[in-house]
Structure 1
Amino acid sequence: MKQQQALARGPNDPGLENPTRRNLLVGSAGAMAAVSLLGITPLAKASEPKSLPDYAAWKDRTALIVHSANTMETKRGAIGSGVITASDRLFVRNNLPAPPLSITDNADAWEVHIEGVRNPRTLTVGELKTMGVTTVASVLQCSGNGRAFFPHGAGGTQWKTGAAGCVMWTGVPLKNVVEELGGMADGVRYITGTGGESLPDGLDPKSIMVERSVPTRALDTALLAWEMNDTPLTHTHGGPLRLVVPGYYGVNNVKYVKNIAFTENQTDAKIQASGYRVREVGKPGSPDQPSMWEMNVKSWVTAPLATGRSGRNMIYGVAFGGVTALEKVEVSVDGGKSWKQARFLGPDLGPYAWRPFVMATELKPGEHRIVSRATDAEGNSQPEGRVDNERGYGHNGWSDHGVTVTVS
């Protein structure tokens, strides 16, 4: 499996070739809440709020599970059968307080500093728009999507399937910017993005800031995006400017990006050095553990979810390959004893987008365990089980992601 191969080599191997919201955190209580968001202290379980916070009030409340003011999950049945996830149904995950909403009032004036190139420079979004433009369809997925299925009670938001969506990003290819600035400096191995969130007072910035490093192989596809789904990038999702790395887990897609550095080493910020690291249950995070970079192949059923009628039924779902295009999706209605290939729905928007799928089948009265199994173009298929790990990252096992449907 692709993920297992990558994990075996370790996150520091440069040869891993690609082969807001309102002021949520205030004062000392805010600082502790911010620390909690990065997993430094346990997250307390809270009942689901009845309304959306102000910064996300434009979202479709009926389509969301609101875990907290900064974490909202798309309901499994709200995904639909289209390729693109509607912006008002897309999940929300914020690590820190966002900059003031006013930063989107004049989005073209937002500045990002580029360093680790031959001609370092600070550029405005307006200037970036003169350096080229592209649109890429890509799955945005939280590293912990599927965490709720881990039996050890992994800390963090208990996402099931809804911390993911497929969106259209529009912006300038990062490699265009690098070329404009004379190319990368010598010895560079990582792209390090720094977010522009407000940092709570009284804490070491490195312990709380959102700063992530990914291998320079991502330069071929990374972009600095100012639009999502053909509209200006909202404050909720990182506007005015976001680093987007197609095929990589959401944490690497840095919101409110204010600095891009091409570096020899990974950042020593806590969110990189020990956060988002895959390790055995009970072990602390450290830089020598695999980092949550490229996503693995995955799928799940979106309908039916609980009940159905005897006779012909249409089984719907979504599937994606991470950094690799999909080859096929199979569906089983007997818990994996037998499989039948599904067909893809809608247009193919590229290797980083998901593919909705459908399969017609006859169902008899009784209970049916419906599961799906995706395979990418390199032959990597979803495993049946999960790889247990401390934080519940990267779960793509088909068994846990199935649904039990009662047919009458």
Structure 2
Amino acid sequence: MSPQPVLLPRRHWLAGSGAALAAAALARTGPAAAAGETPAPGAAGATKPLPAYAAWKDPSSLIVHSSNTIETRRSAFGTGVITPFGQLYVRNNLPAPDASILAERDAWQISIEGVKNPRQLTLGELKRMGIETTAMVLQCSGNGRSYFPDKPGGTPWQVGAAGCVLWSGVPVRWVVDALGGVDPGMAYLTGTGGEKLPDGIDPKSVIVERSVPASAMADAMLAWEMNGVPIPLAHGGPLRLVVPGYTGVNSVKYVKRLAFTARESDARIMTHGYRLSPPGGKGDPSQPSVQEMSVKSWINGPGTDGTRLKAADVQIHGVAFGGMHAVAKVEVSLDAGKTWQLARLAGPDLGRFAWRQFVFAARLPAGQFTLASRATDAVGNVQPEQRMENAGGYNNTSWADHAVKVSVA
């Protein structure tokens, strides 16, 4: 049986090590990326300035692809478990709302539907229903897209469209219980974002509205804090639906409606977007939707910034996560996957939805090395060697794609 997720009362985090982790994450903006690190292939926007709504982030740790897509540099992840705000990636499907929505956070309203007693609740009312904290990997569905040889459309993410975050809010199941439970026959949990939609077009063609199986309610949360502070506008504040184990698009930002529905949303982002269509094809409702994440890992250092290492003992380190399951082990290869050795899981275990840092001590003589990592989850799923080809460049978990070449003098 896999371990249960960490879902701790807020007072526990404040009293224990979780608070220290969050404080460290907030205090650290991350190391500056070395000059030798190159942007993602095809990343024309790598030298763009940070957009105004994310201007507080650390530019040396980031690659700015566009005003809505900002990536963490591989060498900037460091060795902590929690990803600091200043380094965390940004992916918005629509422009962020005006910052005025944060002026009175507790007044933000969300409509709860598909329950016995549907109603609108303010954020202030949600806070009185209970508070919990969980650690979760937030990862864009297209993380690793740049490694697809056919170069799918979309942002050419390397590994930096991911991070591990502490979320605080109220579990969805508590809200549902307070409203009498879910109506019969409701198979999906559907979240609707509160971005301002362009005028003169069909709202369903652009609105961010995603459906996940209703069973996801067991772990889902309506969150108003991130790493111990109110969620910034760039990351979905004042209120975000958080669905642990699922790709980031399913954790709807600026959530204004949470509905239990008999069918999936008919918004285009659901019916045609984020579908696993064959190469050269287009998404449609008959194809699998990009939802649950699976086991994945990659190496973050040393030498991933392109700098030449000196022949010596090194601590090879990276991150691993299982998506829906905990990480059981990580192996490291120094020879492009010909041989594997067991790495050590380092740091605290924050639950099955968080990532684990891993470390492997090695002596590297002068030469060229291809370093790779391969994770196994608690139910025996092994990170695959090859990616699953698809038109959107989604769900790349290939250890071969994520391997790195380092030079040792």
Q: Which residue of 1 aligns with 2:219?
A: 221
Q: Which residue of 2 aligns with 1:112?
A: 110
> What pairs with 1:9-408 in structure 2 (closer than 5 Å)?
46-304=44-302, 305=304, 306=306, 307-408=308-409
CA contact (8 A) 1:98 1:196 kept: no
- Number of residue pairs matched? 365
SS at match of 2:369: strand
SS at match of 2:173: helix
- How far apart in 1 are the matches of 2:336 and 2:266? 44
SS at match of 1:301: strand
Q: CA deviation at 1:109?
A: 0.4
Q: Can you list the C-alpha shifts for 1:102-140, whole angstroms capped at 9, x where unaligned? A: 111110000000000000000000000111111000000
Amino acid at match of 1:348: D
SS at match of 2:46: coil
Q: CA deviation at 1:282?
A: 1.1
SS at match of 1:308: coil
TM-score relative to the length of structure 1: 0.88
SS at match of 1:290: coil
Q: Where does structure 1 differ by over 2 angstroms across 4 or more consecutive aligned residues?
A: 44-50
CA contact (8 A) 2:143 2:161 kept: yes
Amino acid at match of 2:65: H
CA contact (8 A) 1:49 1:68 kept: no
- How far apart in 2 are the matches of 1:357 and 1:380? 18
- How far apart in 2 are the matches of 1:48 and 1:315? 27
- How far apart in 2 are the matches of 1:50 and 1:144? 21
- How far apart in 2 are the matches of 1:283 and 1:301? 32
SS at match of 1:259: strand
Amino acid at match of 1:398: W
SS at match of 2:124: helix
- How far apart in 2 are the matches of 1:50 and 1:263? 41
Q: CA deviation at 1:235?
A: 0.8
Amino acid at match of 1:264: A
Q: CA deviation at 1:46?
A: 3.9
- How far apart in 2 are the matches of 1:48 and 1:363? 32
SS at match of 1:176: helix
Q: Which residue of 2 aligns with 1:14?
A: none
Q: CA deviation at 1:364?
A: 1.6
Q: Choose 69-78 or 305-314, whichever is displaced more.
A: 305-314
Q: Which residue of 2 aligns with 1:23?
A: none
Q: Which residue of 2 aligns with 1:25?
A: none
Q: Can you list the C-alpha shifts for 1:43-83, whole angstroms capped at 9, x where unaligned? A: x9743344211100000011000001110000000000000
SS at match of 1:154: coil
CA contact (8 A) 2:137 2:163 kept: yes
In structure 1, stretches of 5+ residues that fail to align are 1-43
- How far apart in 2 are the matches of 1:342 and 1:76? 19
Q: CA deviation at 1:308?
A: 1.8
Q: Choose 282-291 or 207-216, whichever is displaced more.
A: 282-291
SS at match of 1:212: strand
SS at match of 1:278: coil
CA contact (8 A) 2:190 2:260 kept: yes
C-alpha root-mean-square deviation of aligned residues, in Å?
A: 1.0
Amino acid at match of 1:402: A
